[in-house]
Amino acid sequence: MINVLFVCLGNICRSPMAEALFRKLVRKEKLTYKIGVDSAATSSWQIGFPPHAGTLDILKKHKISSEGLMGRKLKKEDFWRFDYIIGMDESNVKNIYRITGKPNHPKIIRLLDLTKYKKDIPDPFFTGDFDETYRLVLAGCRALLHKIRREQNL
């Protein structure tokens, strides 16, 4: 099983959106038996909370299940459990390095570095623009799935 972990600051907006969206892409490609997906936060503010209402609304709008999404904190041992650890912005990536103790490890990637955008995904908790976040997360998730398929011969 190839395991993917999406990470953002609070695990209530971007990373659960990416988790749900990526699960849908994996299911569509009939790879659920090969790829596992989860999400986590670099902070502990929202542990045990469901996603933000804006994230739930955008997932519902695109007919994507939010079942099972619940805020949790990134742990050091997640480094060993996941094959791909995906940060939503540069700050998340730096925090992933700090928490896992694995700075600049190639399995830790900023999501949009896999796309033509090569930038941070804005946090809709602050911007309020869940549509823009969805569009960028979708582009990143498609690129990530392509990368995994290529690297893992799927």
Residues with catalytic annotation?
A: 8, 14, 123
What is the distance in angstroms between the CA of the first residue and the CA of the last residue of the chain?
Answer: 12
Name the strands in the sheet holding 35-41, side by side, starting at the edge strand that comes first in the sequence: 35-41, 2-8, 84-87, 108-110
- Give whole-number Cα distances, 143 to 11, 38, 60, 100, 139, in Å: 21, 17, 23, 24, 6
Question: Across-strand partners of 86?
Answer: 6, 109
